[in-house]
Structure 1
Amino acid sequence: MSASRARRVVRVVSVAAAVLLIGTAVVQGMSAGAATTSTAKPKVLTPSQIQASSATQLFAGGLAVQKDSKAASVAFDLTARHETSEAKAITRIASQPVAIWLGDWFTKTQVVKVIDTAVAQADKAGKTPTFVTYAIPDRDCGGYSKGGLTSAQYLAWNTTIADTLRGHRAAVLVEPDSLAMISSCPSVASTRLPLIKSAVTALAGAGVTAYLDAGNSHWVAPNVIAPRLKAAGIASARGFFTNVSNFYPVNDETAFADRVSALTSGAHYVVDVSRNGQGWKGTWCNPKGAGLGKDPAVASGSTRLDATLWVKTPGASDGTCNGGPAAGAWWEAYALALVKLRAR
């Protein structure tokens, strides 16, 4: 359904704040431990090797938790002000692995620095970071998270990301909403599908595990999204993702994703569980009564599910709806409510 077009983390903080945070690693999270391993780079895998690997091989060591996220800085400030209960609540978010969003609010130099910092920390900890690209032209079809690069800029931007990630373990979720939203603005399909395919090709060539947008279980039907995934290059990717920035239960998403997988030659998938702890609450945009989902985890079974992730940054607004600030802006009151109503 169109109401599920959750607007993404355009900015967890403003551009100015994001630039300031780059110096201390603009990434999501807070160190969960002190694991140390060899920093030797793994070999660059081919697309066929990526597809044949297990989830635990691709996400070797587990999911990386970043040290200097917005949530971490907020928790630090709250502690300094002796707001102990609030600091503890926000630390609940900061202590988890959350995807790192790469968008058009970063210059080329900045996006390289963000990636370099994140992978260096992850490599040292022996874990795998997760990134999200979010700069497709005509992003969000003019909605709360509108923006994006030009087509020419987008091609170069993705090449930079792929080259920077080459030789590192990493997973990249390519452009949330980009394929599902074609249902709402079909005019973008002719340019968007080739652009995403070019991004997938670049990532695959660098040995990066990539996932494409499949919307969610209550948006676009499997037989509609599957041809888009094929046209966007899923044959060169690991698979697809569902429920990003949305609130549907895992069982809804896996049932939907299994049908999509069957239509895409058995593609694997990941599910965003960052805010689905209380399930669907009637709207995609800053719903009241939402809670954090289960902690992110790599799947160890034999299904096509690779991982349940925190992709949307808990505490980042969906947009100026239900009392929220601009899309992506930090909303502390909402973050505290998510923690209070978290899945147990």
Structure 2
Amino acid sequence: MRIRSRAVVAVVGLLALAGCTGDAQPDPSAPGTASAGPDAPVRVSADGHVDNAYAGASMYVDADWTSNVLASAGEADDAVLAASMRAVSGEPTAVWLDRIQAVTGTATERGLEEHLDAAVAQASQDPDGEPVVVTLVVYDLPGRDCHALASSGELAATDADMARYRSEYIDVIADLLARDEYRVLRIVTVIEPDSLPNLVTNADDEACQAAAPYYREGVVYALDAFAPLEHVYAYLDAGHAGWLGWTDNAEAAVALFADVAGQTRAGLTTVDGFVTDVAGYTPLEEPFLEASDLVDGTPVSDASFYASNPDLDEAAWAADLHARVLAAGFPDTTGIVIDTSRNGWGGIGRPAAASSSTTLDTYVDESRVDRRVHRGAWCNPEGAGLGERPVAEPEGYPDAHLDAFMWVKPPGESDGSSRLVANDQGKGFDPMCDPTYTSDRLDGALTHALPDAPISGAWFPAQFAQLVANAYPAVGSEGGDGSSPDALAGSCSAVLTITDSWSSGYVADVTVTAGAPLSTWSVTLPPGTVLDDLWNGVEADGRITPLEWNATLDAGGTANFGYVGAGDTPAAGALACASA
């Protein structure tokens, strides 16, 4: 997301914002109303609510994202790049609920109910019976993203729109998640990226001052609405190392997190964890730099690029954050998720060793893997790459207490448009997304944003191509937790697409993608499938195996089969795929 100015508002000022809620008073009977009394309802502790939602579960694969990836692969001129795109097409990503219509759905966009149905279908296909965890980004606060324009939203910072946020957005989401058929899922909610961090570093911004009471009220309302659902998990957004890593910012941020969570019915236990680097580019690790290392007598953290911020990377910030939130009273089960969707920084620009320079800034600039001109270059920056693949309980970062690496921002979805683009989503134009803009926030440097970008959240093929080309670990190589990304995703993936349907049947197409070289594969069809016709495969006991000519696949290679099914149309999405 954004990097903000280093200036930090005093904690007392943050806490004082609690009383500035306008004329509207919360309805005590509403599901999100805070109550600190001894009889206040709290989350029911049950076997269904585990410490880490991602542990022992598979993650939801969004067929819409997969379709975009496969379309980009089909248009790529570079065969190797196209194969790498296909190899990651089965990776899980979060679903962004960035406006009311994203929840209800439109004629061209699946709503939350359809995503949840697809996740249930995915769970039913899992050969090991693992639960499926769905990551939802709750992102529609009144006055959203108050310090930027590219992802501003549909709701204004007013009492009237706060009422809409509660009744038309959060209540609708909570009612859907509460349905019995979705209790088989584990649902992770990422609560309002950019909101509380903005109140830490941008309290002097007039737009943030106007939005502050609604951010606080809205976050409390969302937490209280989801807390009674034992299969739902709440993670607060916690910025990133280049935003909140300074000691004064970190202290104020944790104080604010604790104060806001403390206003909920269940208090700090309402929060299961924190997510860092959401839609960000801060590297997981800076392998050749330590903040305290001295270059000509000066710490690395004092280099111009880091500006005395001791947290050089997300692993450092996650460890710093975790220690602070536990000291603030959050439970010791609190976990951290890092969004690794775009913080890989591989490619030819990645340094292979530390610099030999004895000049501090030169040493840092030649040693850092973060290739941005400035840590504040947040919009579609040149040179970025996919980071670690999504995985639960990644190893190697014990102080960070990581629940997962997750692709919270779906790779290939734009941060913001390069110029003003008319849209009906309330999204504006931020000059930080214009590659020709020279910004004081970047110490007078050009933004180095990619050109011709669409509005935030729209598919950006050029960016996706860059991310895949610059992936670190490279597609098919060993991941940071010691496992290959392909093994983490499975040796193959399969995605079902409905190409036609009628009252008594439908036509389905299934794309199989190899995560590693395969000599054969098999795909499990949705339960109850009745075949009227099948091509490019052989069916036995509900499983499709290939013909001789489409059985062998290289890593990243694809095969397709199709069928005509009788009866109800199944949900599009991922199917279980095996290498034998």
Interval of TM-score (by shorter of Structure 1 and Structure 2): 0.7 to 0.9
SS in 2 for 1:212: strand
Count of aligned pairs? 303
AA in 2 matched with 1:260: R
Distance 1:287 1:307 in 2: 25
In the superposition, the TM-score normalised over structure 2's length comes to 0.48
Distance 2:278 2:325 in 1: 17
Matched, 1:235 2:275: no
Counterpart position of 1:177? 194
Q: Please, which moves more after superposition, 278-287 or 201-210?
A: 278-287
SS in 1 for 2:101: coil
Is the Cα contact below 8 Å between 2:62 and 2:92 reproduced in 1? no
AA in 2 matched with 1:132: V
Matched, 1:310 2:316: no
Is the Cα contact below 8 Å between 1:69 and 1:94 reproduced in 2? no
- For residues 96-116 of structure 1, the C-alpha deviation after alignment (integer angstroms, 9 at most, x for no partner) is 111111121516532343343
Over 3 Å counting, the alpha-carbon distance change for 1:260 and 1:93 in structure 2 is farther
Counterpart position of 1:325? 454
Normalized per residue, the structure richer in strand is 2
AA in 1 matched with 2:340: V
Over 3 Å counting, the alpha-carbon distance change for 1:52 and 1:114 in structure 2 is closer
SS in 2 for 1:249: coil
- For residues 10-50 of structure 1, the C-alpha deviation after alignment (integer angstroms, 9 at most, x for no partner) is xxxxxxxxxxxxxxxxxxxxxxxxxxxxxxxxxxx946559
Q: Please, which moves more after superposition, 169-178 or 302-311?
A: 302-311
Match 2:64 to one of 57, 66, 69? 69
Please, what is the CA RMSD of the aligned residues? 2.9
AA in 2 matched with 1:206: L
Over 3 Å counting, the alpha-carbon distance change for 1:118 and 1:140 in structure 2 is farther
Distance 2:386 2:103 in 1: 33
Counterpart position of 1:134? 139
Counterpart position of 2:214? 191
SS in 1 for 2:414: coil
Using the TM superposition, give the Cα deviation of residue 88 of structure 1 relative to its aligned residue in structure 2, in angstroms: 2.5
AA in 2 matched with 1:259: A
AA in 2 matched with 1:193: R
**Greater RCO, 1 or 2 (C-alpha within 8 Å, sep 6+):** 1
Match 1:147 to one of 150, 153, 174? 153
Q: Please, which moves more after superposition, 231-240 or 113-122?
A: 113-122
Distance 2:461 2:384 in 1: 14
Q: Which ranges in structure 2 are unaligned for 5 or more consecutive residues?
A: 6-41, 106-110, 156-160, 203-207, 262-267, 285-314, 346-368, 419-432, 434-448, 474-580
Matched, 1:277 2:344: yes
Is the Cα contact below 8 Å between 2:2 and 2:378 reproduced in 1? no
- For residues 100-158 of structure 1, the C-alpha deviation after alignment (integer angstroms, 9 at most, x for no partner) is 11121516532343343343234323321111111111111151101143211211221
Instruction: Answer with 1 or 2: which has the greater Rg.
Output: 2
Over 3 Å counting, the alpha-carbon distance change for 1:306 and 1:223 in structure 2 is same
Over 3 Å counting, the alpha-carbon distance change for 1:163 and 1:52 in structure 2 is closer
Q: Which ranges in structure 1 are unaligned for 5 or more consecutive residues?
A: 6-44
Q: Please, which moves more after superposition, 299-308 or 210-219?
A: 299-308
AA in 1 matched with 2:407: W
Distance 2:243 2:76 in 1: 43
Match 2:317 to one of 234, 239, 253? 253
Normalized per residue, the structure richer in helix is 1
Identity value in percent: 29
Q: Please, which moves more after superposition, 235-244 or 249-258?
A: 249-258
Using the TM superposition, give the Cα deviation of residue 211 of structure 1 relative to its aligned residue in structure 2, in angstroms: 0.3
Counterpart position of 1:334? 463
